[in-house]
Amino acid sequence: MINVACPIIGWKENQLIKEVLDSGILASGKYVEQFEQSFARYSGVKFGIANVNGTASLHVALLMSGIKPGDKVITTPFSFIATSNSILFCGAKPVFVDIDPKTFNISSIGIERALEKYKNIKAVLIVHLYGLPCDMEAIIALKEKYKFVLIEDSCQAHGAEFKNKKVGSFGDAAAFSFYATKNMMTGEGGVILTNDEEADKYGRQLINHGRYGHSLHTILGYNYRLTNIAAAIGIAQLEQLENWITKRIINARKYNEAFKSLDFLKIPYIPKNCRHVFHQYTIRVSSIERNKFIKYLADNGVNSGIYYDNVLYKQPLYKRRGYGSVICEEAEKAAEEVLSLPVHPSLSENDVDKIIEVVSGYRK
């Protein structure tokens, strides 16, 4: 069976983990610092704060950008639930804006409409879904016009670029995840990026019990610290990231070439100026076809995945919180039609050829 995700662990991860274990320094340590600096440098951002996961990174990114209880935060309903939950963690209120059906990312026209409608929007939390950057030109123009806080959920988009600039470098802060199935991983892990020195200092306090100096606790903080072991894995993984992205892009190009003439699916759209890093290779199939197609793929040795089969505001948690009447038509349609095929760098050429053969051989 060919799976949709498969972490790669090399000799260097093993070597560095052994070094950490031998050193006896298992919690915060030199690899944590080294990892956050190298990931920040890679992304073209000044400061990086390593921490336990992407969800905590989102939470801290919002807090350190000044999001307070009652604030309204625009976001997309077509994402992993951690995106909008991080807004709830702050006691703030998600305002869901529909997606652009071509890119699956939040619609910049929709953002402007919501900014006009509500007037008191504090922040916009965008998601570079599947590894494709949002329309940063339009969003930055809106930020200048309306002066909101911009946070990037970059948990699926390590190394993705808009006009040769990496995601995570556009907003006031950005969150990355190093969960085991992401484009690079530390098992569980995350990083918050920012260019703002004060925000960085505040964020560091937030992930460490609000500690200031040796024994003063000046604010309410959390224990969101990353371990030295996880950071060691991250250092080794980051060295491979560009290789792996290249492989993902090559695999995606092969699929695009092979699938573009198939009439039962739509291949991913890549806007100009974007480097899509293909955390997911996501096609659209009609809703009637999807279950049949998934079963056909599985019967022929190819696993696939649906990200996501429901919009966030329809989750029971959100319905209970008064989101029952929200409608984002394009997001709802996408939830019924998307399907992700394996595109990860551990696929062999044979695997890729087999996937192409199986998909192309589908008869309705």
Ligand X SMILES: *Cc1c(COP(=O)(O)O)cnc(C)c1O
The least distance separating ligand X from the CB of residue 279, rounded to whole angstroms, comes to: 8
Positions 52 through 81 that interact with ligand X (CB under 6 A): 53-55, 79-80
Query: Looking at beta carbons only, is 149 or 352 nearer to ligand X?
Result: 149
Query: Looking at beta carbons only, is 183 or 228 nearer to ligand X?
Result: 183
When asked if residue 153 is in the footprint of ligand X (CB under 6 A), the reply is yes
Binding mask 8-47 for ligand X (x = CB under 6 A): ----------------------------------------
The least distance separating ligand X from the CB of residue 67, rounded to whole angstroms, comes to: 16
The least distance separating ligand X from the CB of residue 349, rounded to whole angstroms, comes to: 28
Rounded Cα–Cα distance for residues 347 and 351 (Å): 6
- The secondary element (H helix, E strand) that includes residue 70 is none
Query: Looking at beta carbons only, is 156 or 251 nearer to ligand X?
Result: 156
When asked if residue 155 is in the footprint of ligand X (CB under 6 A), the reply is yes
- Is-contact 83 75, C-beta < 8 A? yes
When asked if residue 152 is in the footprint of ligand X (CB under 6 A), the reply is no
When asked if residue 105 is in the footprint of ligand X (CB under 6 A), the reply is no
Rounded Cα–Cα distance for residues 134 and 84 (Å): 17
Instruction: Give me the phi and psi of 284, to 5 degrees please.
Output: -110, 135
Residue 271 backbone class (left: φ over 0; alpha: ψ -120 to 50; beta: rest) = beta
When asked if residue 83 is in the footprint of ligand X (CB under 6 A), the reply is yes
Positions 298 through 327 that interact with ligand X (CB under 6 A): none
The least distance separating ligand X from the CB of residue 218, rounded to whole angstroms, comes to: 27
When asked if residue 206 is in the footprint of ligand X (CB under 6 A), the reply is no
Sheet holding 47-51, edge to edge: 47-51, 190-194, 173-177, 149-153, 121-127, 72-75, 93-96
Query: Looking at beta carbons only, is 114 or 191 nearer to ligand X?
Result: 191
Rounded Cα–Cα distance for residues 168 and 190 (Å): 13
Rounded Cα–Cα distance for residues 26 and 179 (Å): 19
Query: Looking at beta carbons only, is 56 or 352 nearer to ligand X?
Result: 56
Instruction: Give residues with Cβ within 8 angstroms of 364, minimum separation 6.
Output: 264, 289
Rounded Cα–Cα distance for residues 189 and 202 (Å): 19
Query: Looking at beta carbons only, is 304 or 352 nearer to ligand X?
Result: 304
- Residue matched to tokens 């999001």: 67
Q: Can you tell me which of 5, 62, 127, 184 binds ligand X, judged by CB under 6 A?
A: 127
**Which residues of the shown chain bind ligand X in the complex (CB under 6 A)?**
53-55, 79-80, 82-83, 127, 153, 155-156, 177, 179, 190
